[in-house]
Structure 1
């Protein structure tokens, strides 16, 4: 979700400094999918590193806005310059506007990126397409300090395909003056209940939002036999699409940025919708009457991770970057800037991050994190122990999302 210069991909998350400033002005005024056997491993894919040597002097990265800051957006926010001074690796960053653009660039054989900060809808497809190489986690100092469940999300056939960076949960946020505490996703997706708040609903603008509709159906139409909300058969996906289509007349906005959600709730235009801890925290600190609920069917979440490109040219600098971005001090900076949870709980140790932030984002709360159903790129392989390949992929999810919410 992202967040950073916020985005709705991956599950609605980060804020970014520009988004945070926009929100402040408003308030002042008021798993990876399974690998595909259909994509043979391309010639020249980098092997998993076994040792590290001296840095090559250059590092080329691909990221969404806010994931890599060098002081150009705000001189006070810079975790790139210290890295360059410490390692001698000069960082170059290609910023993209959407997860799809990121995926396309990583697939472009004429381009070579050492690393990519990938949201879940990108990460799974890159693994399936052999566009990233496995990480030797023993070469990443501090790797074992990262949240255990987050590390496991990147495990495929005994290998790890990335290093957790930031994460978040998708919740139901409501205006306490207008809405009773919702106990279920039905408050947002059931046609009868959605009608109560017609024109005042907020939904995250991402195909992965289909997963929350699937969770609602999992509890209210058991004949569909929905298990993993990110692994849906054609029948299950079609049912979720129908739910979204019926909900559409009651939706005020499909929010692509956290600031859009914050603005709508701050001004009273919205009373119920999908949000992350960032939006709840900002509005709460502004004394707005909002709270978050974790529906009985469960909550979804997302994680961004640093991955090594399959055509990596500067592996030693890339491994140094993996170590740097996993460190508590850098994790603290990233969390504060983007408004998301750090993957390293040590970012909340000492006085690095305010206690209220860490509590609101459940940093280090293993019981809470273990209950989250983290997003992965939908694939035709249904996942788990099943050998079925009759599930739907991300392209089909995108088509369903567009037809149900925009067409």
Structure 2
């Protein structure tokens, strides 16, 4: 494998002591800026993305090439990012939400339309990642990565290969399962298992999915809940089963080759995370420069190589196997490549989350609170 990624997580994890809803982290040396320049007059851009989701050398390269300082922050989930925006007190310019959250932010007027003349690398984005339901006219977003949701499991800790979402609700591994710490993914795995549309607005179906998760929690199936904590948990063999994303699985697999990944037979979510500029951004020109830089083929190759998430840049996605072999002197394992960039035969059994009506979102929120997160 290519390398072991150094993770900036806690140094010890005990079963049952997993964080839920960790606070925003900032990895730059400057925080709290609200204008177009730092106190020294330097241009800057404030970016919020997800943990373990960028090759940080790209930040350094961008700063050196442009003179723009990057204040890079992370949030643990789409829902936590939304909560931060609602609460206020954050000064992001660029955010990287997932598809369904982008639709919600557009609907609620959080985002500004992009000036695509300042993002010439947008033309390198594949047509299959444009005109999607969350931004049908390509006005607000530039795709950053795409991937799938599945089950990660430790082959030394389970009796046979997992094929179904049922493993997330079974007593077979009670106390040895991690529940993903966001409502959309947690209830989605139950909806898929029950055979319902993952974007259903039927209250009875959503409540049935909630009951499936809540009953498993009450029976002690879940040792805890977590998001970014999953890296150390699964790499260290602390739990047997978890729900998470294909790209992050590949990072974990580098550290622990006993791990396996499966998209369950009932189907799963495929997602597109995209770069957007907030309507009240203070550093709009710098934000466009950042987005254009990240959308380039060179940046996508470097980023894909580091974070293992598939690129929406067609050139980068096609060039990556050759890039890998040239970089590491050995062929890319194509089985791993197809986990990162799932083929059409897999994606045909997957679906994208859609933005749900306000009353359905309120139901999700109420049930998530009731679950005791």
Which residue of structure 2 aligns with residue 247 of structure 1?
216
Task: Tell me the CA shift for residue 240 of structure 1.
Answer: 0.8
- TM-superposition CA deviations, 1:1-44 (whole Å, max 9, x none): xxxxxxxxxxxxxx974258969xxxxxxxxxxxxxxxxxxxxx
Find the residue that maps to 1:351 and give its secondary structure: helix
Distance 1:88 1:283 in 2: 34
Which residue of structure 1 aligns with residue 360 of structure 2?
392
TM-score, scaled relative to structure 2? 0.73
TM-score, scaled relative to structure 1? 0.67
Which residue of structure 2 aligns with residue 188 of structure 1?
168
Between 275-284 and 252-261, the greater mean CA deviation after superposition: 275-284
Task: Tell me the CA shift for residue 251 of structure 1.
Answer: 1.6
Q: How many residues align?
A: 327
**Residues 377 and 179 of structure 1: is their aligned pair in 2 closer, same or farther, counting only changes over 3 Å?**
farther
Query: How do residues 263-282 of structure 1 correspond to structure 2 at under 5 angstroms?
Result: 263=235, 266-267=236-237, 270-278=239-247, 280-282=249-251
Distance 1:338 1:315 in 2: 27
- TM-superposition CA deviations, 1:224-243 (whole Å, max 9, x none): xx32x134322221111100
Task: Tell me the CA shift for residue 141 of structure 1.
Answer: 2.3
Query: Contact 2:144 / 2:274 at 8 angstroms: preserved in 1?
Result: yes
**Residues 270 and 66 of structure 1: is their aligned pair in 2 closer, same or farther, counting only changes over 3 Å?**
closer
Query: How do residues 6-405 of structure 1 correspond to structure 2 at under 5 angstroms?
Result: 17-19=6-8, 57-67=43-53, 77-96=56-75, 99-100=78-79, 102-107=81-86, 113-120=92-99, 122-137=101-116, 139-153=118-132, 155-156=134-135, 158-176=137-155, 178-189=158-169, 194-208=170-184, 209-218=186-195, 226-227=196-197, 229-248=198-217, 249-256=220-227, 257-263=229-235, 266-267=236-237, 270-278=239-247, 280-282=249-251, 284-285=253-254, 288-348=257-317, 349=319, 350-352=322-324, 355-356=332-333, 359-363=337-341, 365-369=343-347, 371-380=349-358, 392-393=360-361, 395-404=362-371
Task: Tell me the CA shift for residue 356 of structure 1.
Answer: 3.3
Query: Contact 1:171 / 1:293 at 8 angstroms: preserved in 2?
Result: yes
Distance 1:106 1:284 in 2: 34
**Residues 216 and 175 of structure 1: is their aligned pair in 2 closer, same or farther, counting only changes over 3 Å?**
same
Distance 1:296 1:234 in 2: 25
Query: Contact 1:173 / 1:272 at 8 angstroms: preserved in 2?
Result: yes
Which residue of structure 2 aligns with residue 385 of structure 1?
none
Find the residue that maps to 1:170 and give its secondary structure: strand
Task: Tell me the CA shift for residue 322 of structure 1.
Answer: 1.5
Distance 1:159 1:282 in 2: 31
Query: Contact 1:145 / 1:345 at 8 angstroms: preserved in 2?
Result: yes
